Chains A and B, each alone.
Chain A
């Protein structure tokens, strides 16, 4: 065997199982998220496709704002759905699917931040592109983009915990009680933390506006 072969990874690479369109889901009688997750738990794994369609958009938006890194957000999103499949038996009959999903999202993003702190990730050129042209066309929304860039920078300046509680509190799918449950604190504490984070964001944002040359 050559020396080249000795360096070949023993485990299959991460892309090993991918592709294919998602299997069709019967939409004649739409089921609730909870019913779909119960079905997944009971072995009807294709129902996860419908849950993905319903929730990946808001979850991805949340993760992108939380990490400030689109590639990292995709990785975390993938991990969340992978854990949902893997740990489906832990989903409880009386559970709230959305709260469970964001709870897993929190775990996965904590893993990401732990690794990122250990070895800071290089800036992804894709993120720079996103930040430059996200939203409307460049010509008609240059000012809006600048403003959004400022707000994103202000978000980045928040402590991670503050950013997390603020972003969770702005999700329409979650009540403050559910946010508190996800953060494992009381409703009052979650509310106080979210409001403190909002004020901090406002201060950073206006400070950046003052520092901005235009």
Chain B
């Protein structure tokens, strides 16, 4: 074996991927060639250093993030299962027997409904829709309150908050907003508190919401939630948050990320 042939397979010998049958002639050449010994040593040393390159573990928040992803995926799974079940039930329902009278009754019924609709007018219809929406929002507000008060499981409370944030109403509901603020302030689960805060984004134009987030910021114990609250205040252009943010930025006991976020936010505001 000459040096060129050795060089062609040197890397495979160094990284251990060489077939054992092919190794002896290479090793024999290596033992007798000082030039190839230097080449091989430099390659092996580079590999050793590459393998020994330290890598610190990722932030501890990664675990929390994954847990949140799993919980979210579970909720999606449950919702999908619910839809699938409804569709299966509908598909399994036996078709009803229809008599010759049915089409006639349907036509008469439709005409009656049409006449009734004209009678009530468009205004009444709009009022009815608004009332239904209002009732839905009221119910959701009660659910948020009850969910926190009854101390159900984290997953249940999270689901309630997620449902509450999905409700869109032309007029913000005080009870719903109060429920979300209370949840953000007092819920024991960081995940639920974060989602309640997310739900409050839709109502960030309200002073009571900005004041609620601002009041909770100094007493919040979790840095992730604190940083999220600071982001919220910046997004809501809450200029009144300046003194609290500056105080937090100067607090030696606060988390480094929180202090940095507070400093940046106070500059932005």
Q: How far is the CA of A169 from the CA of B16 in the complex (A)?
A: 11
A118 within 8 A of B: no
Interface size band for A = 35 or more
B237: chain A residues within 8 A (beta carbon): 4, 7
Q: Among the interface residues B69, B72, B154, which one has the most CB atoms of the partner chain A within 10 A?
A: B69
Of B28-36, B103-111, B175-183, B186-194, the stretch lying at the interface with chain A is B186-194
B63: chain A residues within 8 A (beta carbon): 21-22, 52
A199: chain B residues within 8 A (beta carbon): 11, 43
A81 touches B55 (CB 8 A): no
Q: How far apart are B59's CB and chain A's nearest CB, in angstroms?
A: 6
Q: How far apart are B3's CB and chain A's nearest CB, in angstroms?
A: 15
Q: How far apart are B224's CB and chain A's nearest CB, in angstroms?
A: 6
Q: How far apart are A153's CB and chain B's nearest CB, in angstroms?
A: 12
B46 touches A205 (CB 8 A): yes
B147 within 8 A of A: no
A123 within 8 A of B: no
B46 touches A202 (CB 8 A): yes
B74 touches A45 (CB 8 A): yes
B198: chain A residues within 8 A (beta carbon): 12-13, 16
CB within 8 Å: A-B pair count:
168
B70 touches A48 (CB 8 A): yes
A17 touches B235 (CB 8 A): no
Closest to B225 in A: A19
B12: chain A residues within 8 A (beta carbon): 191, 195
B102 within 8 A of A: no
B131 within 8 A of A: no
Q: How far is the CA of A23 from the CA of B67 in the complex (A)?
A: 7
Question: C-beta contact mask, B50-69 vs A, less than 8 Å → 1, else 0?
Answer: 11011111110111111111
Q: How far apart are B68's CB and chain A's nearest CB, in angstroms?
A: 4
A65 within 8 A of B: yes
B55: chain A residues within 8 A (beta carbon): 57, 60-61, 64-65, 134
18 A-B pairs in the complex with CB atoms less than 8 angstroms apart: A8-B204, A15-B194, A15-B228, A17-B72, A17-B191, A18-B65, A22-B63, A23-B70, A45-B77, A52-B66, A65-B55, A85-B73, A148-B54, A151-B50, A176-B17, A194-B15, A198-B11, A202-B43
Chain B interface (Cβ < 8 Å from any Cβ of A): 11-12, 14-15, 17, 42-43, 46-47, 49-51, 53-59, 61-74, 77, 154, 165, 189-191, 194-195, 198, 201-202, 204-205, 222, 224-225, 227-228, 231, 235-237
